[in-house]
Each structure stands twice: as structure tokens, then as C-alpha cells.
Structure 1
């Protein structure tokens, strides 16, 4: 299933299921069932809620009046403020090489604030404090159950599904500081979406093409087979440090081709459109604007 949070009008976001360019409003169909308020609330309830979602889709698949055109809906953030985004650096050998850094012996984690998450279609604001805002295409996973001290085999079973993150980064701010927090966490620096594809629909998560296009021109291309640490290894490693909760996001790092290392460097400008595509998952598309001050 492809699950998203969306608006059809101003007001509270709703949970939807996407098929062939149309959206089924699961919140409306489920009535008072609180599990169907958002992607995270559905995922947190586990298999019973997911099975009911599938049953609702099967029951109403031929009822055209229940399905709305996806391009007429506004995407809402995939996660809420209670969830966490754990990002990983230097997880492709070619990206480590373009930074003149060795391949790490262990995953290099940092955090992206959930307050910076924006959905597909929402603009990435360029902050006045940076002149070097860059893109980073990343496959991401959502945790589906509480995880602590997991083996890699157990960690794979904890993946609810797959999505896409653009790890937008202010390079000048990143370089000014001894750690990455400020450069990674300006408002709107975590585009995430366009939806969550449940794990059962991703045939081989270790063979997904990952592409980034800036204004239609390809800037990054790789495949998840090139990850140094695959998602189960990342989850197992992090779970030895802290408890992961349903709805938490773990990204997998970006391949070579970031704008900072272009010749000449390429940074995001007002009017740009960034597209990150992962095969079998979808396309995360966001325009770029100047921050309102």
C-alpha cells in the first residue's frame, strides 16, 4: 500500500491510500476508528490496522465516488512532531570519496528535527543566513514497532515501509560548526514523502535506483545496493543506543553528486524544482523559494 497524509480542504489532515493517481480517504471510511487518523497512528497499531486498510480499499475499489484525484489533494507531513528523524552520513563509498574522507567503520548518525519535515509539493525555503543550500537524495525507512537491542534479522522485520528524504543542507553553516546540526536543520530542510510504501510492496529494498534531478537535469544517481550499511544494520546499530518507536524515520545517506562538489558548485536557487526518485517508491518533488523574513 501507498499511504499518505493529505488535505482536500483547510483543516485537519486525513489518512489516504494511493492507487493509480487517485486517493481513497481512509479516515472518512473508518469513522471513529482513531487508528485511521494518520500514517503513524495506522502503522503503530501493526498488522490488524493494515489489514483493515487493505479491506477498505478492496471494498471500495470500484466506487469511483470514494476516490479523489491525487493532483487535487495537498500533501500533509508524513510524520508529526513526536516522531524523530535519524539521518546517516557517508554511507556511500563514492560520497565519502568526494568528501576526501575514509569509509566509516560504523554508521555516522545525526538528527534532523521533525519540525523541519515538509511534504511533497511544499516549498523548500532558502534561509537568509546561508548562501550554499544543497540537496541530498536519500532512501528512508519508517519504523513500525518499538525496537531495542535488535539483531539485523529482527531489525528488518521492524521496517513498516519505505519513503524518500531530501537531506537539504546549508553547507556554509555546516562548515562553520564542529558538528552538522545547524547546517542540517533550518526550517523546511527535511522534505519527506511523497508517501510511505509498505514493506510488503517493495520487492528488493537492496536494489532500488535512487536519482535526483534539479530542474530536470540529473545530478545524482545510485542504487541501494551501494549502501555501506543497509537499513537493517542501521536499525540494529541505533537500537543498541536508544529505543526506536513507531513512526521514527531512519535515512540511509546520499550518494556522490551533491552540489557542493560540482565543478563549479551548484546550490539551490529561488525557482528551482528538486525531484528525488526511488524506484518502486515514487518521486518527491519540491520547489525552492526565498524564506519570508
Structure 2
């Protein structure tokens, strides 16, 4: 099943996504589960999805006003340097543990919403990534049982303002400018995916392929990430783990390729979705 968060008739809501379009939850369901995150926490996606499958779509996917998939996560945990080609192109050393930094919810945008290049820098870069949404929380989750804690997957463009990312050794400023983290268009539940590692992920800037990888190229795979993260913090339903970007980022090209106003950036992952965003200048 696929689920999305979106605006409908001027109001934020969520529902099932099918080939016909978006099927919003009804008033009674929304009272019980006002957000996608709340339904994930109640382990209600399967029952809500089954009920919505027999309803008419309220809007097509092409017409929908998408929100960030999880607009209100407790935590967004981003993994740096998690593909070998990206580690090498940046000249980073081999490490024994994942590199982790946090992204703030107010930096996120949805599918087709504008990615904003800030006034203070022209070094806005793309990062195609797979996002993992936590379904069942916990502490000290074992690597062997980690995938039982996954609610689903989505596309993420972890837009980075490189100039600000490189002010110090801490990545946080360059990773949290408003309107730079694109997330969506929908959550795909694990039962829809036969072999996650075989899926191909691409970033395309104005139609040109900039990044291309299979998901099995992760240095630290998803179970290891969940085990590691849940050791130092409690994972809760709706938490987002953004698993890292492959080689080919704009900042490591010669000359560098930065996203600029008027561009379109697309992140696509087989069987998961296509996330597209125009680039605009901050006003």
C-alpha cells in the first residue's frame, strides 16, 4: 500500500494513494488518526488502507497538493557518507560507525513544492536518498529484528547548502535551511518491495542523470542503522532515517554543479516513487 500527506480543500489531511489518485480519510477516521504519523503509531495503516481502497479518489496525483510525507516527525536522523563512491569523492576516511546528523521538520517540503535556494549562498546541492519511516519504536533494537520496526519507504532529496555545511566540522547549518529537504510523494509499505537492495535510485537535474546507484551499495545497511540509532535514542513511530546519498553530488564535480532558480530536480527510486521539485530563489 501507499499513503500520502496532502492538502485538500485548504486543510491538511492524509490517505491512501493508488493509481487513481489520493483517497483521503473520512471524518471519523481523521478524528481517531489526525495524521499519517498517528496512524503509524496505532498500527492502523493496513485497516485504514483496506477501508479506503473501496472509495473514490478525491484528487489525482498530478493535481494533488502534497505535504512532506511525515510533516510532524519527532526525529529526522540523516546518515552521512553511507555510499562508498560518495565517501571517496569527498576524501573522507573509512569509519567504523555511521555518521549521523539531525534535520529539523521545518526544513522539509513535499513533492512538487519549491526547493528554496537561500539568499546567503549559491551552493545548493542535491542528494538523492532513501528515507525509512519507523513503524514500531524501541530502544536497543537488534539488527536481526530491525526490519520489523519499519513502516515503509519514501524518496528524499536531502538538499544541502554546501558553503554553510563546511563552515565547521558540524554539518547541521548547511542541512537545515528552510525549504531544502524534499520528502515524498508517498510511503510505500514493505510488503510492496520484494528486494530493497535491487532497487535503483537516481537524481536527475533538468533531465540529466547526476546520481545512479543500487540501494545495496549502502555501507551501513538499514538494520545496522536502526540498531545503532536505537542504542543512543529511543526510536518512535514516524521517525525518519534518511539513509545517505551516493556519489555524483554537484559539489564534487569539476566544475561544481549547483542547483539554481528555474531548475527541476527529480529523485526517483524503483517501486517507491518519483519526487520532483522546482528550484526557486528565496525572496
Q: TM-score range by the shorter chain?
A: over 0.9
Cα displacement string for residues 151-191 of structure 1 (whole angstroms, at most 9, x for unaligned residues)? 01221100000011111111111112231111111101211
Alignment match of 1:86 (pick from 74, 77, 88): 77
How many Å apart are 1:21 and its aligned residue? 4.3
Aligned mates of 1:142, 1:235 — CA distance in 2 = 11
1:202 counterpart residue number: 193
Alignment match of 2:48 (pick from 42, 48, 53): 53
2:167 counterpart residue number: 176
Q: How does 1:250-261 map to 2 (within 5 A)?
A: 250-261=241-252
How many Å apart are 1:9 and its aligned residue? 2.0
Q: For the aligned residues, what is the CA RMSD?
A: 1.4
- Alignment CA distance shift 1:100-1:82 (3 Å): closer
- Alignment CA distance shift 1:71-1:233 (3 Å): same
Structure 1's unaligned 5+ residue stretches are none
1:7 counterpart residue number: 7
Structure 2's unaligned 5+ residue stretches are none
1:34 counterpart residue number: 31
Report how many aligned residue pairs link the two structures: 283
- Indicate whether 1:155 and 2:152 are aligned: no
- Alignment CA distance shift 1:51-1:131 (3 Å): closer
- Indicate whether 1:97 and 2:88 are aligned: yes
Cα displacement string for residues 69-119 of structure 1 (whole angstroms, at most 9, x for unaligned residues)? 222220022223452110001111111100112232111000111111110
1:19 counterpart residue number: 18
Aligned mates of 1:200, 1:35 — CA distance in 2 = 25
1:244 is paired with a residue of what secondary structure? coil
1:176 is paired with a residue of what secondary structure? coil
2:232 is paired with a residue of what secondary structure? coil
